Structure 1
Amino acid sequence: MWRSLFVNYGKQTKIGEFLYYVSQTCHGIMGLRSHEQLVVGVGVLFLVTVCVTAFFFLPAGGADLYFRDEHAIQVRDTFVREREEVRRKQQEELIRKAEEAIPAPIPKPEIGAADDVEGRRTYVKQMIKFAWDGYRRYAWGENELKPNSKQGHSSSIFGYGKTGATIIDAIDTLYLVGLKEEYEEARKWIETFDYKSVVKGDVSVFETNIRFVGGLLSIYALTEDKMFLEKAEQIATVLLPAFETSTGIPNALINVQSGRSKTYNWANGKAILSEYGSIQLEFDYLSNQTGNPIFAKKAQKIRDVLSEIEKPDGLYPIYLSVETAKWGQHHYSMGAMADSWYEYLLKQWIATGKKDTKTKLEYDEAIFAMEKKLLFKSEQNSLWYFAKMFGTRVEHTFEHLACFSGGMAVLHSMNEPNQTVAKHYLELGKEIGKTCHESYIRSATGIGPESFQFSASIEAKTERSQDSYYILRPEVVETWFYLWRATKDEKYRQWAWEHVLNLEKYCRGKSGYSGIRNVYNSSPDQDDVQQSFLFAELFKYLYLIFSDDSILPLDQWVFNTEAHPFRIRH
C-alpha cells in the first residue's frame, strides 16, 4: 500500500491526481481493524501534509521547477528595483535640498554695445558663480572639480587628502566680486580646516606657498580677519623643514606628516628657479603681518645665495644644486620653471614701497640679459617673443606661461622713474600682448595653445599635438589686464570679452569649466578638470578688466604669481 502510494505520487505532478491516489489508498484502509485504521489514518494525514507543503514551498521538478525559480527571480528583481527606486528618490531629495541651499543664479545680463562694461562684468560674475556652484555641489572640500564627471579631482602637487585648494584659491575672488553667501560658506570651511591633519604624502612647497599661503594672506589683506592670517602662518610653518638644507635653498617637496623633504626624482638634486625663487613675496608679507621673522629670514637666505653666485652672461639657469648652490645645465626660459622668478624680483621691490633698491637692480640686470639673449621678432610680421635656450642652442618656442611677461613689462613701466626706460617697457608689454593675442586668433577656438613656434614656415602657431591644449591658463589675460590699466585702449577689453565668449563656447562643461585638448579643433574634447587657478587668476583678471581702477589700484596692491593681492607697504 505505502509503496503503491509513493510510486504513484512519483509518477504524477498534479495535486489533484495525487489526492486521487490518496483516496484510493484510504479506501483500502477501511478493511483494517479499528485501531489499525487509526494508526494508518494518522500516518496518511501526516504524509499528505508533508507532501502538500513540499509542493507549494519547495522547488518542484520539470516545468514547475522552472516556473517557481522564474517567479522567485521576478520577486527578487522587483524588490531590488523598488529598493533602487527608494535610493534614487533619496539621492534626488538630497540634491534638491543642496540646490535649494545654493543661492539662485545671477540673472544673465543682456549684453549690448561694447561700452556695456557693467553687463560684461556681471556676465563674468555669473560665470564665477556657475563654476563655484558646480564645485560646491559635487566636490566640496576636494581640491578641484571634474565638471563633466561631477566629482572631485586632485593632482600630485596637493599630496593626498581633501585640502580644499579651490576654496582657498577662490575666496579672495568671491569676496571681490561680491558673492557674499559663497564667501561666508568658504570662510566657515577654512575656519575649521587643519591642513596638517588632513594632507598626507608629499606636497609641492611652491604650489602650497602661492595657492594656500598666498590665498589666505590675500583674503586677510582684504578683510583684516585674523583667522586667515593664523591659518596662513600654520601652513607656512609646515613648509619650513624644506628649507633646512646646507644652502638654504628649499627642497621642492615636503612630507607634511614626517617633515622630510626632497627634490623631484627627475631633477637629480636640483631645485627649480621659478619654485625657490617665488617665495619671498609671501614669506616677507607673512613676517611683516605676524611679527615672526623666521619666514622673511628663510626667503632672504635664498636671495643672498643667488646674489653671491656668478650668473653666466647675466642669465639665471633653470637648475641649481640644493647642496652646493652650483648651477646645473645652462637652460634658460621666460616660461615654465623660470617665469615667476623674474616676476618676484620686480614685485618684491614694489611690495616694499620701492625701498628695496638692491632687488630692483637685480631685476634690471636680469631682464636686460633676457632681452639681449632671448628676445626675438618673427620673420613674417615682426611678432615679439622670448625664445628658450639650451646651452647655446636657441629654440624659437614661446609658451603660454611666458605671456605673463607682457604684463610684467607694463608693471615695470608704470613704476619706472626713468621715462625713457618706462616707454621702452610699455612698448615691450604691448608687443608681447599682441603676439599672445595672435596665438589666440590663429586657432579654431580663438584660444591659444600651451606653446607655439616661430620659423620661416610657422608663426604664433604650433604643429605639435602635445602643445595644442589649453588648461584655463590666465597669463594672456593677465597681460591684457595690465595693458588696460596702463593705456585704457579699448581693444584690450574687447580681446578679453572675446575670450569670455570662447570660454563659454568651448570650455563650459556640465557643472563648471574645463580645459580643452586641441585649440585647433572646432569641436574640441574637454579634459574634465576645473583648475583652482581658474578662480584665483583667470576669473579675477577678467572681472578686473571690466571694473573701475578703484578696485585693487596698482599703486596700493601687488599680486603674487597666483594673482592673490597683497597691500604695498608705504
Structure 2
Amino acid sequence: MSWSTTPQLRWLRPLLALFAVFLLLQILMPRSTYTQIQHNFNGRYLAQPERQNAVKREFLHAWTGYQDHAWMADGLLPLSGGRKQQFCGWSATLVDALDTLIIMDLNDEFQDALNATLTIDFLESIEGCEVNLFESTIRYLGGLMAAYELSNDARVLPKLIELGDMLHTAFHTSNGLPCTHCKLLEKDLDIKPTEDAILADVGSIYLEFARLSQITGDDKYIETVDHVSQVFAQVQNDSSIPGLWPEIISPAAIGGDRTDFARKSTRFALGALSDSAYEYLVKTHLLMGKTRDVYESMWKRASREIKRFLLFRAYIPNANEKDVIFPGIASRTFGDSEAMLETRTEHLACFAGGMFAMASRIFGDPEDFYIGEAITNGCVWAYQNSPTGIMPETFTLLPCTNTTQCEWSDSCWQDQSNRPEHCMNGNCEQFKFPPGFLQVSDASYKLRPEAIESVFIMWRMTGDEYWREVGWTMFESIIEHTRSAFGHAALLSTMEIYDRDAYEKGLMVRKVLARQMDDMESFWFAETLKYFYLLFSDPDLISLDDWVLNTEAHPFRLTESVRGF
C-alpha cells in the first residue's frame, strides 16, 4: 500500500503539491539569494593602515598645495601653483573634498574647509554665470549633502537648501525638463529646456534631488525627479536601439507634437556622454525603490540592450585566464536591422563594472555580477599593460570573433592589427602601441576614478583580496607618474615615458616618467583618492549596505522604509 493512499497521511498531499509549486517557481523565476550588497565579512576588522596612510599622505600633499596656492578657487594648477575657475567660481575643490576630509578623519582640515564653504554665496555670485546643472548637482549639491549626512552639522542645511533651490529653477520650464546650461535667477529670464543635451546631463539628477526631499521634507524636488524619470521611461523605446537612450537627447521635444526626444542621435555608449544616466537607474532604485518601480523597469530594459549591443570581448594578451569584456560604442540608423559596434572603449566607462555588479544583487540577476567582474577585469588589464601602468583615456581594441575569450597569438596579432602611423605632437612616425592596443586616440590620464571605483566595489562585494592587491598596484603607478610639487598632475600620455625631473620627498630627482599637464580636477579629492582610501579601509566605513554613492562618490544615507534593497 502506498503512503499516498493511506488515510492517515492523505492530509499531506495538498501541502506537498504547494511545496512542489514553490520549488518550481524558485527555479523558474530569477531571484536574489542575497540580503545585502556587501560580502559577509563576519565582523572581521580588515583595514590596512599602512596603505590607508599612504593614500592619506597623498591627499594631504595635494590638499596642502590647494590651501597654500588656490584656496577658495575651483581648482589648483599642480605644476605652476596657479588657480583655475570652472563653475561660477563656487570653490569646486573645497566643496567636493568635504566628505573625503571626514572619511579620512582629518577633522581640523574639515572644519577649516567647512567654515570657508559657508561663506560661499551661491545666489550673489551667480550673476552673469552660465550654470552647468550636471556638474553643479553632482559636485556641489552632492558634496554639501554628503558633508551634512556625515557631520550632522546643522550649519550645512541652510546652505544646502540655498543651492538646491537655485539649481531647481533650471526645471522651471514650459515642460518641466531642465535647461542644462543656463543663467539662472536673472530678472525676466525665460528659462527654456535645452534643445540638444548630453544624455548624462539630464539623466543624472534623480539621486541628489530625491535625497534633498528626504532630508528637507520638501516634496518639490522629488516631484521634479518623478516627472523627469517618467519622461525617460515613456521615450525609452523611441530610439533607434529601443531600450537605450542616445548620447544626445532633446529635452525641448517634450510637449506639443514633437517626437524626437530620443532621436537626436543614433550613437549609444556607456562613456563620456551617457555614463551616469544608466548608473543612476540602479542607484536611485536603491535609494527609494520601495516607493517607485520606474527605475527598476528602466534598468531591466536598458541592461538587456547594453549586453546585446555595447559589450564585446577583445583580442588581448595577458588576460590571465580571466573573462574580459569591454564597453564599446554602437550606432544604428532608423530602419536598419543591424547595429555597428565600434570597439573603442573609454576610462570613463569603467564605472560599468561596479554598476552591473551592484545591480546583480539589487535586482537578483547573477549574470550581471559576472558581467560586472569581466568589465572590471578589462579595465585592470588596460592598467597592467600600458607602459605607465595607467589606463589611457580612450583606445580601440581588436574584437574577438567568437563569444568566448580568444587565445592570444603574437603572429596572429601582427597579421590582424595592421596598425597605422601614429602622430604624436606633430611628429609622425611608426608608434608601436603595446600588444592588444589597436589604436589610442587619447592617451591622457585625467586623474579619473572609474576603474578604481569598480575595483573597490568588487572588493566590497566579494571580499577577495585580489582586488586590493590590484588596487594597490594601480595606486602606486598613478602616484609615481602624477605627483608634482604642488599636488598631482594629469598626464599627457600614459603610452610614453621620458626622463624627467620628479618631485619626491621634498627633492627633485631624475626618473623615467610620463609627461604631466598643469591640471588637477576636484574629483581627484572627491572620488579617486576616496575610493583608494575606502578600498584599504574596514568594510564598515561607508558600507554599501548603508550608503549609496553618487557619481561624484558623495555618500547619501539609505532609509530603511523607502530603500529598494
Tell me the TM-score range normalised by the shorter chain: 0.7 to 0.9
Q: Residues 462 and 451 of structure 1: is their aligned pair in 2 closer, same or farther, counting only changes over 3 Å?
A: farther
Q: Residues 532 and 462 of structure 1: is their aligned pair in 2 closer, same or farther, counting only changes over 3 Å?
A: farther
* 2:84 matches 1:153: yes
1:346 maps to which residue?
282
2:223 maps to which residue?
297
Deviation at 1:318, TM superposition (A): 2.0
2:408 maps to which residue?
none
1:139-173 per-residue CA deviation (whole Å, 9 max, x = no partner) reads 00000000111111123xx13x3x11101000100
Contact 2:444 2:493 in 1 (8 A): yes
Q: Which structure is higher in helix share?
A: 1
Amino acid at match of 2:327: F
1:440 maps to which residue?
383
Query: What SS does structure 1 have at the residue aligned with 2:489?
Result: coil
Query: What SS does structure 2 have at the residue aligned with 1:461?
Result: coil
Separation in 2, partners of 1:116, 1:235: 36
1:137 maps to which residue?
68
2:151 maps to which residue?
223
2:520 is aligned, of 522, 530, 533, to 530
Segments of structure 2 that go 5 or more residues without pairing to the other structure are 1-45, 255-260, 333-338, 399-415, 420-434, 498-512, 561-565
1:165 maps to which residue?
92
Q: Residues 118 and 383 of structure 1: is their aligned pair in 2 closer, same or farther, counting only changes over 3 Å?
A: same
Amino acid at match of 2:353: G
Deviation at 1:195, TM superposition (A): 1.4
Amino acid at match of 1:303: S
Amino acid at match of 1:533: F
Separation in 2, partners of 1:568, 1:525: 42
2:203 maps to which residue?
277
Separation in 1, partners of 2:557, 2:186: 34
Amino acid at match of 1:426: F
Q: Which has the higher contact order (CA 8 A, sep 6+)?
A: 2
Q: Residues 283 and 468 of structure 1: is their aligned pair in 2 closer, same or farther, counting only changes over 3 Å?
A: same
Matches within 5 A, 1:230-309: 230-256=158-184, 258=186, 260=189, 269-309=195-235
2:30 maps to which residue?
none
Query: What SS does structure 2 have at the residue aligned with 1:555?
Result: coil
Separation in 2, partners of 1:565, 1:261: 34
Query: What SS does structure 2 have at the residue aligned with 1:407?
Result: helix
2:329 maps to which residue?
388
* 2:553 matches 1:563: yes
Segments of structure 1 that go 5 or more residues without pairing to the other structure are 1-114
Deviation at 1:196, TM superposition (A): 1.9
Amino acid at match of 1:316: W
Contact 1:247 1:324 in 2 (8 A): no
Deviation at 1:240, TM superposition (A): 2.5
2:113 maps to which residue?
186
Deviation at 1:414, TM superposition (A): 3.0
Q: Residues 460 and 353 of structure 1: is their aligned pair in 2 closer, same or farther, counting only changes over 3 Å?
A: farther
Deviation at 1:358, TM superposition (A): 2.8
Separation in 2, partners of 1:352, 1:306: 17
Separation in 2, partners of 1:324, 1:429: 34
1:374 maps to which residue?
310
Query: What SS does structure 2 have at the residue aligned with 1:145?
Result: strand
Aligned-pair RMSD on alpha carbons? Answer: 2.0
1:120 maps to which residue?
51
Contact 2:356 2:368 in 1 (8 A): yes
Query: What SS does structure 2 have at the residue aligned with 1:547?
Result: coil
Q: Residues 262 and 437 of structure 1: is their aligned pair in 2 closer, same or farther, counting only changes over 3 Å?
A: farther
Contact 1:269 1:321 in 2 (8 A): yes
Deviation at 1:262, TM superposition (A): 7.2
Q: Residues 248 and 513 of structure 1: is their aligned pair in 2 closer, same or farther, counting only changes over 3 Å?
A: same
Separation in 2, partners of 1:244, 1:321: 16
1:456-486 per-residue CA deviation (whole Å, 9 max, x = no partner) reads 428753633x410000000000000000011
- Same amino acid, percent of matched pairs: 33
2:477 maps to which residue?
502
Amino acid at match of 2:348: L
2:540 is aligned, of 539, 543, 550, to 550
Q: TM-score, normalised by structure 2?
A: 0.75
Contact 1:254 1:261 in 2 (8 A): no
Query: What SS does structure 2 have at the residue aligned with 1:314?
Result: coil
2:412 maps to which residue?
none
Amino acid at match of 1:409: F
Separation in 2, partners of 1:428, 1:463: 24
Amino acid at match of 1:241: T
- The structure having more radius of gyration, on CA atoms, is 1
Deviation at 1:116, TM superposition (A): 8.6
Separation in 1, partners of 2:108, 2:486: 19
Q: Residues 253 and 499 of structure 1: is their aligned pair in 2 closer, same or farther, counting only changes over 3 Å?
A: same
Separation in 2, partners of 1:365, 1:413: 14
Q: Residues 504 and 273 of structure 1: is their aligned pair in 2 closer, same or farther, counting only changes over 3 Å?
A: same
Deviation at 1:316, TM superposition (A): 1.3
Contact 1:141 1:167 in 2 (8 A): yes
Deviation at 1:379, TM superposition (A): 3.6
Matches within 5 A, 1:33-72: none
Amino acid at match of 1:463: Q
2:295 maps to which residue?
359
1:331-353 per-residue CA deviation (whole Å, 9 max, x = no partner) reads 11111111101111111111126
Query: What SS does structure 2 have at the residue aligned with 1:558?
Result: strand
Deviation at 1:362, TM superposition (A): 1.4
Deviation at 1:261, TM superposition (A): 7.7
Matches within 5 A, 1:312-323: 312=239, 313-323=242-252
Contact 1:252 1:262 in 2 (8 A): no
Query: What SS does structure 2 have at the residue aligned with 1:389?
Result: strand
Separation in 1, partners of 2:438, 2:292: 41
1:461 is aligned, of 431, 437, 443, to 437
* 2:350 matches 1:403: yes
Deviation at 1:247, TM superposition (A): 2.7
